[in-house]
């Protein structure tokens, strides 16, 4: 959600939508269980110094209804979606729509064509489905998507205190102090930004026994995208 664009510039509405999504159901139905729960900040235990004690946000239709009423918003909420956003994005959006209905929130879905989704919808429209691949460090992760001046800040999250803490964490050599900074930053994003991050997906790969040269890589799928230059087939 673009946090600087109505109606999503209202944090009560943003919180209502965060509480109106069943993360467990999304993990089990859309991802088939191949993933982990998200907590509305873009860091999981794959990152060094990731926070481990922030309470997991759960599906709570009653609390979602409370925040929705508090927001004063009336009418529908428009969510744009497409399978271009990620595999299963349309199904995930339909599930979200059903979840939110239990809280009295009417999410209207607009299915967008895959062609042009990343140039015409993502980072252009105020509420849309998206995904992000991992980054090597928390600093790069937050600098890419939450720093006020980033062109890829697709939630329009702009908090001077967050920016200050990001720079402090980047320069901090005391690991405990750095961990504490990252924890506070995660809470700020979780509770105040327009990011709804219900799940982290696992990358699954399968290969034939005839394939040689495969290298397990810590990057994304298909040997960090380098499968064509790394492998060969034997008869």
CATH number, position 23? 3.10.105.10
Q: Is residue 145 part of a domain?
A: no
Number of domains in the chain: 2
Burial profile 179-212: b = 16 or more Cβ within 10 angstroms, e = fewer: bbbbbebbbbbbebbbbbbbbbbeeeeeeeeeee
CA neighbours within 13 Å on the CB side: how many for 145? Answer: 26
Q: Are residues 111 and 224 in the same domain?
A: no
Question: Cα separation of 138 and 171, whole Å?
Answer: 13
Q: Is residue 170 part of a domain?
A: no
Q: Are residues 197 and 110 in the same domain?
A: yes
Q: Is residue 180 part of a domain?
A: no
* pLDDT digits (tens), the chain, 235 positions: 999 999 999 999 999 999 999 999 999 999 999 999 999 999 999 999 999 999 999 999 999 999 999 999 999 999 999 999 999 999 999 999 999 999 999 999 999 999 999 999 999 999 999 999 888 899 999 999 999 999 999 999 999 999 999 999 999 999 999 999 999 999 999 999 999 999 999 887 788 889 998 887 766 678 878 888 999 999 8
Q: What is the pTM of this model?
A: 0.91
Q: Is residue 30 part of a domain?
A: yes
Q: Are residues 37 and 78 in the same domain?
A: yes
- The answer for residues whose C-beta is within 8 angstroms of residue 154's C-beta and 6 or more apart is 2, 122, 123, 130, 145
Expressed as residue numbers, the domain containing 215 is: 206-235
Q: Is residue 168 part of a domain?
A: no
Q: Is residue 3 part of a domain?
A: no
Question: Cα separation of 209 and 229, whole Å?
Answer: 18
């Amino acid at each position: 959600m673009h946090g600087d664009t109505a109606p999503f510039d209202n944090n009560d509405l943003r919180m209502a939508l965060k509480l109106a999504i069943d993360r467990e159901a999304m993990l089990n139905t859309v991802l088939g269980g191949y993933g982990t729960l998200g907590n509305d900040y873009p860091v999981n235990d794959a990152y060094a110094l990731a926070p481990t004690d922030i309470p997991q946000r759960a599906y709570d239709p009653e609390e979602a209804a409370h925040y929705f009423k508090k927001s004063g918003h009336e009418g529908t909420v428009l969510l744009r979606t497409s399978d271009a956003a990620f595999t299963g994005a349309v199904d995930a959006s339909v599930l979200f729509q059903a979840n939110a209905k239990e809280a009295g929130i009417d999410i209207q879905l607009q299915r967008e064509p895959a062609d042009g989704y990343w140039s015409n919808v993502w980072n252009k429209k105020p509420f849309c489905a998206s995904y992000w691949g991992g980054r090597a460090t928390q600093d790069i992760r937050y600098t890419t998507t939450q720093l006020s001046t980033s062109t890829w800040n697709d939630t329009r999250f702009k908090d001077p205190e967050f920016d200050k803490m990001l720079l402090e964490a980047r320069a901090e050599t005391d690991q405990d102090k750095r961990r504490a900074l990252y924890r506070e930053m995660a809470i700020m994003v979780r509770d105040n930004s327009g990011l709804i991050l219900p799940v982290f997906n696992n990358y699954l790969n399968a290969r034939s026994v005839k394939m040689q040269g495969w290298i397990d890589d810590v990057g994304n799928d298909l040997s960090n995208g380098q499968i064509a230059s790394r492998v060969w087939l034997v008869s």
